[in-house]
Structure 1
């Protein structure tokens, strides 16, 4: 489907069109969450529950959206989150998303479960001097030889950081997928996991799958064998943030996996300020989950995030219009962010602090 007329005017418009563009199998996978999907909905509701209290008559000349992240200056604080099996959304798959991100100066985090090889993705964008960061997300497979080889491939391909997902030792109970009878199409697979070690079995909890679950000693091992910056994705508890600092990680991504793993896990907008207080600026924080508007991005920065990641909004735009759709969705969010900054009295993102958010008497920001 082409953009056509009228063109989408917000990322939500792409979601409506994607439901028509995707078959029920793919729609259940990309749009659904775990169980009753309470966390999926709450992520969105939590950003909506935060209110901006703008300042007026502030100096806005020479304003910009630039931000520093892991030694790089980004044109804006938008990154594409790791999303698996993107060729199920559109034939261009991860390659289309990468090209769109590069064209818009956005960061890209490629999934371990990518349906396009990492080398092909990196080769297409790594020499673009205007692109954003190029990171590789990794799920440890319980075999350090296999994991080390995968990491070395990412280093050799030109990826600039590793993102270790820590909140999904097993899949969530995804009712929507089960009702749809979800299965991967024959021509789509996790190409990086061909030849991966077999899943463990035996034991009482989750059929023994947790025998290979990632633990803190695995974080220490990974930190010791890679020269790349290491971020942990999936942190919601302040104590885990402190433990991560002790392991020498370079950044944290506050995430509940888009509501796809543990249903009723708290929304990321609630967790973010508590984790920001816990780490005290020692490492950069990023956040995902429910971000659909430029005002959400501004609120996230005010709560302590250096940048944000989007997942469903871009993969649904990919389903509708390929790379063009992803680029357009990113541009829409960036335009909305700039408008929100101007109307809130923020010349730069450094001006977005918690005082920008209205706190009801007797409540904590982001909490009911």
Structure 2
């Protein structure tokens, strides 16, 4: 049977990987509610197509941080690609280069940064940083990626501590023993550090510390993991260049909003003053269009890239990207778009409020009341029917 969609790759990847590796890739925090809701939330959104428009020529190209990409579909930072394929991140980088999109390389890549760059010398790359407790190590990493031609620094903000991933605990997974983090190890060896912990992430890193990072690099800084308007406003205040709305694929804190549900709040908060991207739950071309209609400039893929990598290496990742790009092209044409939604006057979608389950509302099209709890204050809001568009 031919592979025709991203979920086909999911089923095949499971057969190629060991149970512990599959559990690591698919694992989630807590009961996995947020991981599942990342996908389910897209199904609560309806597209509003416009017809009798000229879609004889559809162009999926767009830009992020001033750089052109072939489609608003890029690769999220995920670690340890060699768990899925022998060439690991080198295969992923080659596929991204061939597709003409951005690949965010993880701090916890299982190939050296030099090898990744050599594998895809013309690739468009950003570097994802888990801020380490050793500031000198952070500085050396940032200087290294600058020298290698990475074009932005993505700081992950939602991992002050590793989430409670039950399957990894049950499997007694120890990635430190299985894979060598070559870039971090080489730098810590130069610093005479005897041992590198798996997650020496700085849990004390705060907003005020961003100024130190900004003082040592000219790279644009993107924050990954923002879910609320309050943090989005702080990001704007601290003059970052972009936000990736993300809940870490549901791997950090369970029971937080799906990424697509948090998107409109973040987009509204930044008022168009910086670019907003979405990570989490994208599985179809319709999903890509929904994210763009609600204000994202681009979406990033995590698990589907690893599924393709596990099945066919570089060629599998290429297929995943091509399938999604082709679906997005079709979605654009069928909703009346010659180009990805940009600025005002574009596409609308409807987003159903949800939260309190009432059996009598099932299938009736009734829009349920939405209960929202914000920490440290608690706020109640009732949502009737809402039509969201960043272009009105």
TM-score (norm 1): 0.90
1:76 is paired with a residue of what secondary structure?
A: coil
Higher relative contact order (CA 8 A, sep 6+): 1
What whole-Å deviation, never above 9, does each CA across 1:25-81 have from its counterpart, x for those lacking one?
Answer: 101110111110000000000011111121111122433111121111221111110
Matched with 1:204 is none
Any gaps of 5 or more consecutive residues in structure 1? 1-5, 202-208
1:350 is paired with a residue of what secondary structure?
A: coil
| C-alpha displacement of 1:7 | 2.5
What CA distance in whole angstroms lies between the structure 2 residues aligned with 1:139 and 1:198? 20
What CA distance in whole angstroms lies between the structure 1 residues aligned with 2:57 and 2:208? 47
| C-alpha displacement of 1:354 | 7.3
Is the contact made by 1:254 and 1:288 (CA closer than 8 Å) also made in structure 2? yes
- Say which of 328, 342, 357 aligns to 2:349: 357
Is 1:60 the equivalent of 2:55? yes
What CA distance in whole angstroms lies between the structure 1 residues aligned with 2:201 and 2:339? 45
Matched with 2:12 is 17
What whole-Å deviation, never above 9, does each CA across 1:178-215 have from its counterpart, x for those lacking one?
Answer: 222222385523222215468999xxxxxxx8874321
Matched with 2:229 is 238
What CA distance in whole angstroms lies between the structure 2 residues aligned with 1:64 and 1:321? 28
2:103 is paired with a residue of what secondary structure?
A: strand
What CA distance in whole angstroms lies between the structure 2 residues aligned with 1:18 and 1:185? 23
Matched with 1:325 is 316
- Give runs of aligned pairs for residues 170-181 of structure 1, distance below 5 A: 170-181=161-172
Is the contact made by 2:278 and 2:296 (CA closer than 8 Å) also made in structure 1? yes
Is the contact made by 2:90 and 2:120 (CA closer than 8 Å) also made in structure 1? no
Deviates more, 1:163-172 or 1:343-352: 343-352
Greater fraction helix: 1
Q: Give the RMSD, CA atoms, in angstroms.
A: 2.2
Matched with 1:265 is 256
Bigger radius of gyration, 1 or 2? 2
- Say which of 295, 309, 317 aligns to 2:286: 295
Is the contact made by 2:126 and 2:151 (CA closer than 8 Å) also made in structure 1? yes
Distance 1:21 1:147, change over 3 A: same
What CA distance in whole angstroms lies between the structure 2 residues aligned with 1:198 and 1:227? 31
Matched with 2:356 is none
Distance 1:87 1:338, change over 3 A: same
What whole-Å deviation, never above 9, does each CA across 1:212-265 have from its counterpart, x for those lacking one?
Answer: 432112212111210111100000011111111111111110000000000111
1:349 is paired with a residue of what secondary structure?
A: coil
Matched with 2:244 is 253
Aligned residue-pair number = 350
Distance 1:58 1:322, change over 3 A: same
2:273 is paired with a residue of what secondary structure?
A: coil
What CA distance in whole angstroms lies between the structure 2 residues aligned with 1:35 and 1:114? 25
Is the contact made by 1:303 and 1:354 (CA closer than 8 Å) also made in structure 2? no
Deviates more, 1:219-228 or 1:294-303: 219-228
Matched with 1:193 is 184
Is the contact made by 1:234 and 1:254 (CA closer than 8 Å) also made in structure 2? yes
What CA distance in whole angstroms lies between the structure 2 residues aligned with 1:212 and 1:275? 24
- Say which of 121, 140, 145 aligns to 1:149: 140
What CA distance in whole angstroms lies between the structure 2 residues aligned with 1:247 and 1:235? 14
Is the contact made by 2:131 and 2:202 (CA closer than 8 Å) also made in structure 1? no
Distance 1:211 1:331, change over 3 A: closer
- Give runs of aligned pairs for residues 304-343 of structure 1, distance below 5 A: 304-343=295-334
What CA distance in whole angstroms lies between the structure 1 residues aligned with 2:172 and 2:201? 25
Is the contact made by 1:65 and 1:75 (CA closer than 8 Å) also made in structure 2? yes
